Chains A and B, each alone.
Chain A
């Protein structure tokens, strides 16, 4: 666990809620982006992230420090998100992911000064997100953690609490499925 996280957790357990605020600031965006990609809905993602931080606060005393704080937080958020996703009925959203209070960070401001390019980028994003949405939650999760969050197998295994071999095979199947979905769109 990073020294900063360790210090902030220690301060928080001594009653310093500002320390918890600092923990939130350190991890909120990364967590939100992952959950957003998992749920494809800004409002639900914000609910899940908020819930994850509140649950983490409540359980902070039980966090043993044997894993990264972020791994532990991820785990809470992933469980909440997957549970929510399973319960939700499939809803066809015409403009999914465009509401809510999240803010999108453009990759390159100069590119977005060309309206045509922005539209094209939005369409590409939509294609990829739609393909992600069609994967099972487990397959979606491993692709998000690997390619979007850049996690290694070991960290992913810790978050999802499965063996590394399971991560490898899930990634293999997830990539094959995604390939098939994106190939159809490309044709």
Chain B
């Protein structure tokens, strides 16, 4: 049996990365040892077999799919900041300390020397600490692809111009702040005239109208009547629901139990079935339902909330699974995304008419992969061809179950 160091020499010989001294040593070894020659032939044969393995490629559409996902998942990368100038390590903390000192000193002087109570009609501070601002989402983008396929089919139109659901107080009804009283101290802080405080008017500006009306609901403490109201706003009765979760597969299991308890049959697409068996894969899911009333949908969310609360209370309970539910009327981009997710069978959305004899309520479950959806899914076809005529007053719902980190 060849010594290990000789075997290593031969391995490096196969790798083609020997120094000239090592190469000479290898050639001497090969000349004198038949075992070394046999081993080298074997190693070279193995390397050749690896090299001759067929090369696998992605389809040419892959870059486009990744690019379509980019705006949804990630903001544009920031340009590199210019290299910082060389400063001593203490400069940063020292500057911060200096700023804090100045702010603290100024505040001390202001409050100590301006302690006079305000007279009638005046207020020492702005009454409105919560300036009117548009309803903001909490970082979750219910997001639509930048570019989506458009096949020119007729669709029920989404809502037109939609106003922002602004629940903050109307600034017009809040009395404006009176001007602050100047004190001598203000003038003498740092020996300079104080800068005037920003005009409150800048906080009173009406927010711009957003493109989509979003409503937010805490799943664990659901305001059922408000959710019901939100689900009755859209004249086309079509909604997109974004339900952030901690872990996609676990969240889906909970949702599945709740839907099955409500006698909703789930048609789970093949890739989704595969991914549901793989807890290591982080997967987002999307459900599409056509025959669910607002009441039924509210009950589903309520049950999810109850399950979340009871999980927390259990002896070794997990933290809650679900984040705030975001409800918005389905717009054209949502419909385009749905068609994209349905792949080649998207045309069945319109062409395959539901029948009165179809099975009880169904929901289609797909992995939420707008980048690379399955082009031809048997489950999608089956779902679309076997739909039952929806009951009056029911909704079309696209529910995205998305991991909060993905």
Contact = CB atoms under 8 A, between A and B. Distances in A.
Interface of A: 12-15, 17-18, 20-21, 24-25, 28-29, 32-33, 36-37, 42-43, 45-47, 49-50, 53-54, 57-61, 84, 87-88, 101-107, 121, 124-125, 128-129, 132, 143-144, 146-148, 150, 152-153, 168-169, 171-172, 175-176, 178-179, 182-183
A47 B278 CA distance: 13
B50 A147 contact: yes
Given A102-B58, A104-B57, A146-B47, 18 more contacts: A13-B77, A20-B70, A21-B66, A25-B63, A28-B63, A36-B56, A37-B56, A53-B66, A57-B74, A57-B77, A101-B58, A101-B372, A105-B57, A125-B53, A144-B50, A150-B51, A172-B8, A179-B46
Interface string B272-300: 00100010110000000000000000000
B51 A148 contact: yes
A15 to B, nearest CB: 6
Contact of B46 (A18, A50, A182): A182
Interface of B: 7-8, 11-12, 14-15, 17, 39, 42-43, 46-47, 49-59, 62-67, 69-70, 73-74, 76-80, 271, 274, 278, 280-281, 371-372
B55 A88 contact: no
B372 to A, nearest CB: 7
Contact of B67 (A20, A124, A172, A176): A20
A12 B77 contact: yes
B79 A14 contact: yes
Contacts of B65: 50
Nearest to B63: A24
A24 to B, nearest CB: 4
Classify the secondary structure of B's interface with A: helix
22 contacts: A12-B77, A17-B70, A20-B70, A24-B67, A32-B57, A50-B69, A84-B281, A88-B278, A88-B280, A101-B58, A102-B57, A104-B54, A104-B56, A105-B54, A128-B49, A152-B17, A168-B8, A171-B15, A172-B11, A172-B12, A175-B14, A175-B43
B8 A147 contact: no
B26 to A, nearest CB: 14
B15 A54 contact: no
Given A33-B56, A61-B77, A147 B278 contact: no
A58 B77 contact: yes
B63 A32 contact: no
Given A29-B57, A168-B12, A13 B62 contact: no
Nearest to B77: A60
A146 B56 contact: no
Nearest to B277: A91
Nearest to A85: B280
A50 to B, nearest CB: 6
A152 B59 CA distance: 28
A172 B11 CA distance: 6
Contacts of A57: 70, 74, 77
B57 A13 contact: no
Contacts of A88: 278, 280
Given A175-B43, A182-B49, A103 B59 contact: yes
Contacts of B271: 43
A21 B69 CA distance: 12
A61 B78 CA distance: 6
B280 A87 contact: yes
B50 A29 contact: no
A54 B66 contact: yes
Contact of B74 (A14, A58, A144): A58
Contacts of B55: 29, 33, 104-105
A46 B57 contact: no
Contacts of A171: 11, 15
Contacts of A20: 67, 70
Contacts of A179: 39, 42-43, 46
Contacts of B62: 24, 28, 46, 50
Contacts of B76: 15, 17
Contact of A148 (B50, B58, B70): B50
A78 to B, nearest CB: 17
A13 B53 contact: no
